Structure formats: C-alpha cells, structure tokens
C-alpha cells in the first residue's frame, strides 16, 4: 500500500516524465494499472513490438511501433493519461526524440500526459532530467522473503505430495541473503532451491551468493572471495574473537537486538604475516556471510572523476550484497598521500572523502574490515572514533598461540601434532609470525622429500633456526609499531 501511495504521489506531482528503473516490468505495469484504475486515468503502454495501445485492450494505434512515431502521436493527441514506455532507453540519444519529449513535457499544463519510462537502466539527457522524477519499486525485506518461501513450499507440497526439507538456520540464511532483491528474482531462486532436491541447504545459499555477485558486473574492482576461513583455523586472537562473537547477533538482525546500532567495522593493524587477512576472511566464514574484497589497484583510473565513481559504484555493489564483509587489504596503500594531494591531483583526498562519508552515513549491513601494516601512512580522519568500531593490534604470536599455529598447519598437511615436540618448536619459533611458522613447515616438508625422510621435529626446527624472521630483519619498525599501538589500540589476543 505504501508503494502505491508513493507512486501515486509522484504521478500527482505533475512531473511530465517519470523514470522507473526495474527488471520487474510486469509488476511495474500492474502497479500503474492499479493506480490509473483507482484514479480514473487513462493508461496506455508502448513497446517497439506492439506500438501504443490502451492497457488491457486489444486495439492498437497503427503505425506507432517506431518510437519517434509514437512520440508524435502522443504530442498531438488531446487524450490525457499515463503512457508507460517499455524499454525506450535506446532511443533517447536521438535529437528528434529529445525535442518531441521536451514538447510533450512543456505542454503538460494544456494536456496532462505523463510519460513513464520503464527500463532496467535509464539515462535521461540533462535538458530532460530537470523535468523528470525517479521512482523505484520496493525490494523484499526478510519477512517478505519468508512469505515467498512459504508460498513456494506450499506449491512444492501440493505438486510432490511432501514438504520440502531444510533446517531453520538454512531458511534464515536464505531469507537474509535474498532480502533486498526484487520479488521476481527472489521467487525464482527460492523455487530453484526447493525444486532441485526438495531441500533448502548450504548449496542453495552458495548459489544465491554467486547469483548476487555475478549480477554486480563491476569489472574486477570488487571481487567475491569464495575462500573464507573460520576462527578455529586461526591461532590466538582471543579478544578479537570474543568481540566479534558478541556483535554477530546484532549484525545479523537478531530479534532481541533492537535498539543497538549495527556494527560497522574494524581496523586490524599489525606486523606483516600476523594473520590480519586470515582474520578478515574468518569474520565472513564465522558469521556465515559473503566476503567481498575491494582492490584499490584496480580502483584508480587516469580520467578525472572516474576513480571516485569506481569507488561509489563498488560501495553500492557491496550494499546490494548485504549482509556481507567488505575487506580492504593494506588500506594505507590506497589512501596514503601527501596532505595537499598535490602529487596525484587530489585524487586520493577525494577517494578518502568518499570513503569517509560512506563509513559515517551507511545504514546497510556491510561490515568493513580494513588491514594495515603502517599506521603512519593512514590519514588521521580515518582513525577517529566513529569511523571504525574498534582498532585491534595483531601482534606477533605468544608461546601459547605459536603452539596453536603449529598444530593447525601440521594438521592441515596431514601430520599428527602429537608426533612432534611442540614445546621445542614453540621455543625455536619465538619472534616468528604465523605466516613465517607456516613457511618453515612447508620448507621442512620439501627438505624431508629431498632427504627421503618423514617430517620431524628436527626438520622443522632446522628450518626455523635457518630463518631470520621479520621481527629481526625489521626490528626497529616492528618496535615502533608496537610502541604506537600500546596505548592506542586494543590487543587482538
């Protein structure tokens, strides 16, 4: 009802041109028919195949299939009414059509003809844009998706004689990921999920996430990351894990979380190889939501204004995938610049402004996880409270965490940690990052293969002894980073 009232208000506001961008053409025309019947307005449709005809009638106005001819007819007709122009956007570049549209619009006070463009995408010429209003059909919320699921489940039961299977968790995830989509797409995906095997399961969730990502078409600036982890795959980071566990129900819209602000995101600062990127992946994996990576390398464009446009489109695309995690790895490389922006023409400053505005104003459930190795290069505006919910420092792993990391990487390579002297390896790996410990195990495996012997404590220890970790080769930088973080960040472990 609200949608019909809102659309009626626009039509009554005397805009001669209304732009309705949608993939749900039948729903749009049905809504227009409903409004026009209620308001007692004449309603016509045009398409390149049918020409102009009164909606619901079989009679067509001859010789109006060609768009210019259709506009000439509308321009001279004394018939008031609403004209839905279906997929007319390819013809808007024609200067004759532009002039005819302008004459129809300027004549609105004498003959009230409202032209409603119904297309998936519409770019109106500037001289006509000021005479136009835009309207968007409402999208489904989670409650609407559940209604669609119930309808499709009943159809399946009546057809197959049995109810579809599925856990409540799977149904909740399905509703969560379909929320925000148009009704037709959501119904098709639900029908496919149930019809395939009579069950709603994790495979259906993954298919829906792929569908949503494929529909973005952002040319590599925003990428879907299928390789996500879970926190049991990561050693340590106990404070970070606890913080995220407390906020998971609120972010996912738990019924008892009303009144709490939706978590916005975190900044993970730390030593290279400490597990920041893996932690970003684990947020998505543990929360059961998609992970999108924003690549600043493909964001920048040599043409003026295109870089900021790429960022805005990427952030809008992330919002269309909500709920999701948006991961920006090594964010300082995309935003670091001199204060004046003189070295890059001010592009990085404008990109920063666009990002900061989005971080402050967004209402969608997009959880931003940014990682950084060098806090000195980050602009201070990004670090103030309110941009991120928290800044965590991922330090080099302590002894207990190194033991966990060793066990995780040994099991991952089909080795039994009980066959190794982990205490010796923990001691030998002091000052090593998680990535450096993993690489020592990998190198030991290669060495064992060359010697034709099984992986052993001695082989791993030998590789650790022969490696100079980053904490040694870059001791001054690591010490400076730790000193900065000591009073300004929350320890992740």
Q: Per-residue pLDDT for the chain (493 aa), expressed as one digit of tens each?
A: 488 899 999 999 889 999 998 888 988 999 999 999 999 999 999 999 999 999 877 778 999 999 999 999 999 998 899 999 999 999 999 999 999 999 999 999 899 999 999 998 888 888 898 899 999 887 777 778 888 888 888 898 888 888 888 888 778 777 777 776 777 888 888 888 888 888 887 777 777 777 766 665 544 566 777 666 677 777 778 888 889 888 888 888 776 667 788 889 999 988 887 778 888 888 888 887 888 888 776 666 555 556 777 788 778 778 877 788 899 888 887 775 544 444 555 677 777 888 888 888 888 889 999 888 877 777 888 887 778 889 898 888 889 988 988 999 999 899 999 999 999 999 999 989 888 999 999 999 999 999 999 999 999 999 999 988 888 888 888 888 888 888 888 888 8
179-216 pLDDT, tens digit per residue, is: 767 778 888 888 888 888 888 877 777 777 777 666 65
Burial 419-447 (b: 16+ CB within 10 A, else e): ebebeebbebbebbbbbbbbbbbebbbeb
Which residue has 């227009």 as its token pair? 32
Residue 197 CB partners (closer than 8 Å, separation 6+): none
> By the 8 A CB rule, do 135 and 20 touch?
yes
Reduced to 3 states (helix: H, G, I; strand: E, B; else coil), residue 45 is strand
**Number of residues that this document lists for the chain:** 493
Q: Are strands 43-47 and 17-21 parallel, antiparallel or unpaired?
A: unpaired
In this prediction, residue 320 carries a pLDDT of 73
Burial 289-323 (b: 16+ CB within 10 A, else e): bbbbbbebeebbeeeeeebbebbebbbebbbbbbb
Spatial separation of the C-alpha atoms in residues 406 and 475, rounded to whole Å: 23
The two tokens of residue 281 are: 């992946």
CATH of domain 231-394: 3.40.50.300
Which fold would CATH assign to domain 399-473? Helicase, Ruva Protein; domain 3 (1.10.8)
Bridge-partner residues for 82, per DSSP?
43, 114
Q: What kind of architecture, by CATH, is found in domain 2-135? A: 3-Layer(aba) Sandwich (3.40)
Number of C-beta neighbours around residue 231 at 10 A: 18
Range(s) of the chain covered by CATH 3.40.50.300: 2-135, 231-394
The two tokens of residue 241 are: 């894990």
Residue by residue, DSSP assigns 202-217 as HHHHHHHHHHHHHTT-
Give φ, ψ of 312 to 5 degrees. -60, -45
Reduced to 3 states (helix: H, G, I; strand: E, B; else coil), residue 347 is helix
Q: Are strands 43-47 and 81-86 parallel, antiparallel or unpaired?
A: parallel
340-358 pLDDT, tens digit per residue, is: 444 555 677 777 888 888 8
CATH of domain 142-215: 1.10.8
Give pTM, 2 decimals: 0.64
């Amino acid at each position: 009802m609200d949608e019909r009232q809102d659309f009626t208000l626009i039509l009554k506001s005397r805009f001669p041109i209304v732009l309705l961008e949608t993939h749900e053409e039948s729903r749009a025309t049905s809504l227009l028919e409903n409004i026009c019947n209620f308001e007692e307005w004449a309603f016509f449709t045009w398409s390149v195949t049918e020409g102009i005809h009164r909606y619901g009638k079989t009679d067509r106005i001859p010789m109006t299939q060609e768009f210019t001819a259709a506009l000439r007819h509308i321009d001279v007709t004394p018939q008031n009414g609403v004209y839905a122009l279906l997929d007319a956007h390819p013809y808007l570049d024609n200067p004759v059509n532009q002039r005819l549209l302008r004459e129809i619009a300027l004549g609105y006070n004498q003959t009230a003809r409202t032209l409603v463009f119904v297309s998936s995408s519409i770019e109106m010429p500037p001289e006509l844009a000021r005479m136009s209003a835009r309207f968007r059909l409402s999208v489904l919320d989670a409650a609407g998706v559940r209604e669609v699921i119930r309808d499709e489940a009943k159809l399946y039961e009546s057809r197959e004689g049995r109810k579809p299977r599925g856990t409540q968790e799977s149904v909740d995830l399905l509703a969560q990921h379909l929320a925000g989509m148009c009704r037709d797409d959501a119904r098709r995906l639900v029908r496919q999920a149930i019809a395939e095997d009579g069950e709603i399961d994790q495979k259906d969730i993954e298919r829906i996430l792929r569908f949503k990502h494929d529909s973005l078409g952002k040319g590599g600036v925003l990428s879907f990351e299928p390789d996500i982890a879970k926190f049991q795959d990561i050693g340590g980071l106990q404070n970070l894990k606890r913080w995220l566990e407390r906020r998971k129900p609120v972010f996912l819209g738990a019924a008892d979380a009303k009144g709490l602000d939706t978590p916005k995101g975190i900044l993970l600062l730390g030593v290279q190889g400490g597990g920041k990127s893996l932690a970003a992946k684990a947020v998505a994996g543990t929360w059961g939501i998609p992970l999108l990576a924003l690549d600043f390398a493909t964001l920048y464009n040599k043409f003026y204004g295109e870089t900021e446009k790429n960022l805005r489109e990427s952030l809008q695309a992330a919002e269309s995938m909500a709920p999701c995690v948006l991961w920006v790895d090594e964010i300082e490389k995309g935003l670091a610049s001199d204060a004046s922006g003189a070295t890059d023409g001010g592009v990085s400053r404008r990109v920063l402004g666009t990002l900061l505005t989005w971080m402050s104003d967004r209402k969608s459930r997009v959880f931003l996880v940014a990682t950084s190795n060098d806090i000195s290069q980050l602009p201070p505006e990004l670090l103030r409270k309110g941009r991120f919910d928290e800044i965590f420092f991922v330090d080099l792993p302590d002894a207990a965490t190194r033991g966990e990391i060793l066990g995780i990487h040994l099991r991952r390579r089909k080795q039994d940690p009980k066959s190794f002297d982990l205490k010796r390896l923990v001691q030998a790996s002091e000052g090593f990052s998680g990535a450096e410990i993993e690489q020592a195990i990998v190198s030991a495996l290669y060495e064992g293969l060359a010697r034709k012997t099984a992986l052993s404590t001695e082989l791993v220890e030998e590789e650790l002894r022969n490696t100079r970790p980053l904490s040694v080769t870059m001791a001054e930088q690591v010490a400076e980073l730790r000193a900065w973080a000591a009073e300004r960040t929350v320890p992740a472990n």
